[in-house]
Amino acid sequence: TRTVRIAPSILSADFADFAREIRAIEDQGADWVHVDVMDGHFVPNITFGPPAVKAFRPHVRTVMDVHLMIAPVDPYIDAFAEAGADILTAHVEAGPHIHRTLQAIRAAGMRPGVALNPGTPAEAALPLLDLVDLVLVMTVNPGFGGQAYLDMTGKVRTLRAAIGDREIHLEVDGGIDPGTAPGIVTAGADVLVAGSAVFRGGSVEAPEVYGRNIAAI
């Protein structure tokens, strides 16, 4: 059996209190902390950049899983390494030279991931499997939390088969909740990103709710 990890996305957390939010989700059993970086260009939303990620770093005791929704990526790789990202994931759609980007991420000392938008077929990741530690299948069009789930079961199944016994995580992100998680885990996902299902609209009033949701997923 596969170990399934939960990576809550702090995109749905209280932006004025990240230290407390990160502590709460980790206390409640989060395996990784998922950090969504958006540039207002690759996606129609802006979140935070390397200085904010660096500020989160001392509060993350698990794994800081940084999902870049920016283009270009290459000029910022060293800044995210310096900020302390453990995993740095770039979108295959973000530039014309994805091998160069993934190699640069590894060379900077991070674990490289490649993300696929819902409209991008599984095949786009196949030439990259020797370069990555993680493939991220988006189950919404990236940009916002709380969007409706898009079924990517077939894509996940194809990628799980292609990964075989390699040590590559298969992560899904967008609309993951206790209703959608079981089907995609059965298809082969082993890391579940969940924003709104974990944070329930940014409430920090009852940290135990994160644990309940994490356990339910």
Catalytic residue check, 78: no
Residues 6+ apart with CB under 8 A from 41: 70, 71
Radius of gyration (C-alpha) of the chain in whole angstroms: 16
Instruction: In whole angstroms, give the CA distance from residue 216 to residue 182.
Output: 10
- Which residue among 13, 77, 194, 214 contacts ligand DX5 (CB under 6 A)? 194
| Site membership for Zn ion, residue 36 (CB under 5 A) | yes
Instruction: In whole angstroms, give the CA distance from residue 19 to residue 68.
Output: 21
Nearer to Zn ion, 26 or 171 (CB): 171
Under 8 Å between Cβ of 44 and 52:
no
- Which residue among 156, 193, 214, 217 contacts ligand DX5 (CB under 6 A)? 193
Question: What character string, x for contact with Zn ion (CB under 5 A) and - otherwise, covers 54-83?
Answer: -------------x----------------
Has 36 been labeled as part of a binding site?
yes
| Site membership for Zn ion, residue 171 (CB under 5 A) | no
| Site membership for ligand DX5, residue 8 (CB under 6 A) | no
User: Among 36, 39, 65, 133, which one carries the catalytic annotation?
Assistant: 36
Least separation, in Å, of the C-beta of 190 and ligand DX5? Answer: 16
Instruction: In whole angstroms, give the CA distance from residue 9 to residue 149.
Output: 15
Burial of residue 217 (CB within 10 Å: 0-12, 13-18, 19+) is buried
DSSP 164-202: TTSS-EEEEESS-STTTHHHHHHHT--EEEESHHHHTTT
- Report the 10 Å Cβ neighbour count for 101: 24
Nearer to ligand DX5, 29 or 109 (CB): 29
- Which residue among 50, 112, 113, 142 contacts ligand DX5 (CB under 6 A)? 142
Has 146 been labeled as part of a binding site?
yes
103 to 132, contacts with ligand DX5 by CB under 6 A? none
Least separation, in Å, of the C-beta of 80 and ligand DX5? Answer: 16
- Report the 10 Å Cβ neighbour count for 57: 14
Catalytic residue check, 14: no
User: What residue type is assigned to position 162 of the chain?
Assistant: A
Nearer to ligand DX5, 101 or 117 (CB): 117
Under 8 Å between Cβ of 70 and 101:
no
Has 67 been labeled as part of a binding site?
yes
Active site residues: 36, 173
Residues lying near Zn ion in the complex (CB under 5 A) are found at: 36, 67, 173
By CB under 6 A, name the binding residues for ligand DX5: 9, 11-12, 34, 36, 67, 140, 142-147, 173-176, 193-197
